Structure 1
Amino acid sequence: MVTTAAECAADNAEEGPPLPNLAIVRRLEAVGFRAWPAASIQYDGSWQIRLTAGHPSKRLNSVNPLDPSDHDDIEIRIERAARRFDSYDRPLVFRQTPLAPKPLEAHLDAHGWRRFDETIVMTGRIDALDIDGGMDHLPLKDVGRYVDASIAVHGRDPALKPGLTEVLSAIRPPSGLFVLEEEATGPLSTALCVHDNDLAGLFELATRQDVRRAGYGRDVIRAALRWARHRGAQTAWLQVESANIPAVALYKGLGFGEVYRYAYRQKPNGGSDD
């Protein structure tokens, strides 16, 4: 019998952080890369090196080790990766998932690389999630309008518009761009839903700061997942920083459960791009 990501999450919902199933981790990592595509992808062994000149997201600008057994020549490979990041004027950042080799983790620890922005990957069976309340909203067809709304809701620099547009335009699986807005006050909440086979990934989830805790985040998630369910998706998944306690509580309240965690690693005193 095959255990799904959603079943793994459900089994551990009341037990704290689960022991990750590496096959499920690999699958969610792969769909995550497709859903949030970097402009440049190179490999050093099984280390995936992702770089994107137009957008500073750490997921788009990080080294992602994908095989726990691939840990030869760690220092040499870190130096090679650093040169690539220098060519993009990006700080060298490792994204450490359960697929990262333990010797690499030990090396980074020994050399004082800081660990930051721990993130929880959560899943839930769509037919078991609480998504039937609220109004239906159709996804936008206008990428530019969505980008403007996302930048406004996140409070980001408008200079990121070309880079975010490039990332969204490069997504190959079917995607839905969702915006809740009011005519008088503008966009309230946004979500990107990427439908990849039986999985529906949620990205760019945000609610404008002055209207948080009013239910808009829940409403946009429900609308996005009803769209994905209509398209045949069976399992929803998302990523949320563990420090974002209100968001974690919202997702748990909808029925999501934790599958695994990852964090970023960077040399001491190095700057980071959020």
Structure 2
Amino acid sequence: MVDLPNVRRLEAVGFRAWPAASVQYDGSWLIRLNAGHDSKRLNSVNPLDPSDYRDIPVRLEKAARRFADYGRPLTVRQTPLTPPQLVAHMDAEGWNAFSRSLVMSVDLVEREFGDGIDHLPIKDVGRFVDACIGIAKSDPKRKAALAEIINAIKPESGLFLFEDAEMGPTAVALVVQDNDLAGIMQFAVDERVRGRGVGKAMLDVCLRWARLRGAKKAWLQVEADNSSAMALYRGAGFSEVYSYIYRTPGA
């Protein structure tokens, strides 16, 4: 049984941790759009109340026009908060379903961190973004959009970067502290150093920093088919809270 109040809270902190440039509401449907970045989380319809299912075709058509204005395909992010009637409508219309992701959390209150050295976050957003793009092998043209998103985050955040003297950046992570919850975003490890404990060390740094600032729980989102990331997170004590998928109209 999914804990819907907990889902609502994690959805809210998730939106604050990864803010969209345009945010509009249609009833309790949250429509997030971003012209500069094609992240699905930033460009999706997010229904937030299972009981809000009036005028589904009309509202989807209105949303489609907004998405078209941004050059984006209409995309619905289907979570446990999505009305069953909307899910049934998308199923009946042959909508595609893809990118199943899990929202996972771990309790930090009783966690033992040992005597490891605290790793301080960096302040240079440009340097962090360059590292993110380099490790992910993303298009360098995305730098401005990614920097804009990070600079728009309102809760306290920490930018963590591991570097090697020869290879350069080897791991990155963004931790967003929102009251007693800490979200781990943009977590990535360079493929050249995977399997050497770098990911585990970076995750420990993130969780230690979050706990020191009062976080009682940490959460993250991960694609379900990312087996190496899933193994890392489960090994660190994370467990699934709920899952979501993205839906787009069929051909």
Q: TM-score, normalised by structure 2?
A: 0.97
Deviation at 1:211, TM superposition (A): 1.8
Give the number of aligned pairs.
251
Deviation at 1:268, TM superposition (A): 2.3
Deviation at 1:221, TM superposition (A): 1.1
Aligned to 2:218: 236
Specify every segment of 5 or more residues in structure 2 that has no aligned partner in the other structure, as ranges: none
Could you say what secondary structure the match of 2:215 adopts?
coil
Deviation at 1:130, TM superposition (A): 6.2
Counterpart AA for 1:140: I
Distance 1:96 1:105, change over 3 A: same
Q: Residue 263 in 1 paired to residue 235 in 2?
A: no
After TM superposition, the structure 1 = structure 2 runs for residues 14-163 of structure 1, keeping only pairs within 5 Å, are: 19-129=1-111, 131-132=113-114, 135-163=117-145
Distance 1:256 1:130, change over 3 A: farther
Counterpart AA for 2:97: R
Deviation string, structure 1 residues 205-254 (Cα, Å, up to 9, x no partner)? 11112221211111111111111111111101111111011111111110
Aligned to 2:192: 210
Could you say what secondary structure the match of 1:206 adopts?
strand
Q: TM-score, normalised by structure 1?
A: 0.89
Could you say what secondary structure the match of 2:87 adopts?
helix
Distance 1:104 1:133 in 2: 50
Specify every segment of 5 or more residues in structure 1 that has no aligned partner in the other structure, as ranges: 1-18, 270-274
Q: Identity percentage over the alignment?
A: 57
Deviation at 1:154, TM superposition (A): 1.1
After TM superposition, the structure 1 = structure 2 runs for residues 5-20 of structure 1, keeping only pairs within 5 Å, are: 19-20=1-2
Aligned to 2:236: 254
Decide which of 152, 159, 164 is 1:170's aligned counterpart: 152
Deviation at 1:58, TM superposition (A): 0.4
Could you say what secondary structure the match of 1:24 adopts?
helix
Could you say what secondary structure the match of 1:127 adopts?
coil
Deviation at 1:133, TM superposition (A): 7.2
Deviation at 1:127, TM superposition (A): 3.2
Distance 2:4 2:147 in 1: 32
Confirm or deny: 8 A CA contact 1:129 1:256 kept in the other structure: no
Deviation at 1:132, TM superposition (A): 4.1
Aligned to 1:220: 202
